[in-house]
Amino acid sequence: MKIHITENYNSMSEKAASIIIKQIESKPKSVICFATGTTPLETYKLLINAYKNKKVDFSKVVSFNLDEYYPIQKKDKNSYFYYMHKNLFDHINISDENINILNGDCQDPELECLNHAKKIKKHPFDLVILGIGSNGHIGFNEPGSSFEKRIGIVNLTSNTIKDNARFFSSSSQVPKQALSLGIKTIMSGKKILVIASGKKKTNAVKDMVKGKINEKCPASILKKHKNCVLILDKDAASQLT
Ligand code: PGA
């Protein structure tokens, strides 16, 4: 695990964006698995600026996403489908047929996951972008999730529902389940980029970096990955030294 500690959220985002741009430069057909949440928002703004300044071309990039709430409609402002389009895809030249997001509005979630897993098999990930939950989750793989799981429907913990309630009118509105790539699929990425910012992430970052590899902290498995880069701001890294 390579760790970069940056001054603040903006410098963390700049470093993350530059890694993503370099990946696409070196392989225009890169398969990238994107994260949602608050942490990558500035990174995505920087990618949009780079695209507008002709510094990066997404025309051949294939995208996947880590997860999606279940059930949720695509047009729902809290869906990750909506998030990805609003915060990145609508502003760059990625082609629609190259965008793959689990459908939170499907009739049969098991089948949806099965079909998605087949698509991933055909498009191995070159880069996986991850945030980390304050409870150490990656994607929606909550504490206790098996490291062996590839994809599936998951129950969100009350901690995650509380964390994510800020986007909804109340915590009772947060879907109680999600479709998520499992840890085995995340770990299959050739390169993993983890970003974390702020004091709220301090404990999760400490458990990930310093703790034992243990399913209680899903992110701890990333220590086993051969090409994992962690970009932290000072606050998120404050318990590492
Ligand atoms: P956040 O979420 O970026 O909104 O903090 C991270 C996560 O839960 O993975």
Asked if residue 241 has pLDDT above 90, the reply is no
Tally of residues, the chain? 241
DSSP letters spanning 177-237: EEEEE-HHHHHTSSEEEEEE-SGGGHHHHHHHHHSPSBTTBGGGGGGG-TTEEEEEETTTT
56 pLDDT band, cuts 50/70/90, is very high
Burial of 177 (0-12, 13-18, 19+ CB in 10 A): middle
Of the listed ranges 17-31, 84-98, 106-120, 162-176, the one predicted with least confidence:
162-176
139: left (phi over 0), alpha (psi -120 to 50) or beta: left
Q: How far apart are CA 153 and CA 168, in angstroms?
A: 21
Question: Does ligand 1 have an atom closer than 6 angstroms to the CB of 132?
Answer: yes
Active site residue 67: yes
Q: What is the pLDDT of residues 13-50, one digit of tens each?
A: 999 999 999 999 999 999 999 999 999 999 999 999 99
Tell me the CA–centroid distance for residue 35 and ligand 1, in Å: 8
What mean pLDDT do residues 106-111 have?
97
SS3 of 114-153: the string is HHHHHHHHHCCCCEEEECCCCCCCECCECCCCCCCCCEEE
Q: Does ligand 1 come within 6 angstroms of the Cβ of 109?
A: no
Of 65, 87, 103, 135, the catalytic one is 135
pTM: 0.97
- Centre a 10 Å sphere on the Cβ of residue 1 and count the other Cβ atoms it contains: 15
Q: Is 116 a catalytic residue?
A: no
**Per-residue pLDDT averaged across 80-96, rounded?**
98
How distant, in Å, are the alpha carbons of 28, 39, 99, 127, 148 from that of 94?
11, 21, 8, 16, 31
Residue 142 falls in the annotated catalytic set = yes
pLDDT one-digit tens code per residue, 109-159: 999 999 999 999 999 999 999 999 999 999 999 999 999 999 999 999 999
For residue 143, the model assigns a pLDDT of 96
Judge residue 52's burial from the number of C-beta atoms within 10 Å of its C-beta, 0-12 exposed, 13-18 middle, 19 or more buried.
exposed
Strand partners, 194: 130, 230
Evaluate the omega torsion of the peptide bond into residue 71 and state whether it is cis, within 30 degrees of 0.
yes
pLDDT at position 204:
98
What is the DSSP code (8-state) at residue 96? G
In tens, the pLDDT along 179-231 reads: 999 999 999 999 999 999 999 999 999 999 999 999 999 999 999 999 999 99
- Catalytic one of 42, 65, 67, 163: 67
Q: C-alpha distances in angstroms, 178 versus 12, 132, 205?
A: 28, 16, 23
Return the ligand 1 atom nearest residue 39 CA. 3
Catalytic: 105?
no
How far, in Å, is the centroid of ligand 1 from the Cα of 40?
8
Q: Is the CB of 133 under 6 A from ligand 1?
A: yes
Residue of 138, 162, 163, 180 with the most ligand 1 atoms within 8 Å of its CB, for mutation? 163
> 83, 87, 132, 186: which to mutate for ligand 1, most atoms within 8 A of CB?
132
CB 181 within 8 A of CB 139: yes
Report whether residue 38 contacts ligand 1, using a CB cutoff of 6 Å. yes
Q: What's the pLDDT tens digit per position in 69-82?
A: 999 999 999 999 99
Q: At residue 114, what is the residue type?
A: L
